[in-house]
């Protein structure tokens, strides 16, 4: 009986650790994707401003471009 309880506890512990790792991995992936999206938006802003002027950049950026 004690061995079964210990096995059940270990299985529950492993499941909790896997869940915590999954949550941490998802948070890291979200952070990296957000950083990449911000970098891409910055690139789009610069390219639009350099190639087409500030009016076109404002269309791309949804905000005023200086």
Whole-number Å distance between alpha carbons of 15 and 21: 10
pLDDT for 66: 52
Whole-number Å distance between alpha carbons of 24 and 29: 9
pLDDT for 62: 65
pLDDT digits (tens, 9 = 90+) for 5-59: 888 888 888 888 899 999 999 999 999 999 999 999 888 888 888 888 878 777 7
pTM of the model as a whole = 0.60
- Closest CA relative to residue 59, chosen from 4, 39, 47: 47
């Amino acid at each position: 009986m004690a061995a079964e309880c210990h096995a059940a506890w270990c299985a529950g512990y492993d499941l909790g650790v896997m869940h915590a790792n999954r949550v941490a991995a998802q948070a890291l992936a979200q952070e990296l994707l957000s950083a990449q999206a911000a970098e891409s938006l910055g690139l789009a802003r610069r390219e639009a401003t350099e190639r087409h002027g500030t009016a076109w950049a404002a269309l791309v950026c949804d905000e005023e471009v200086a």
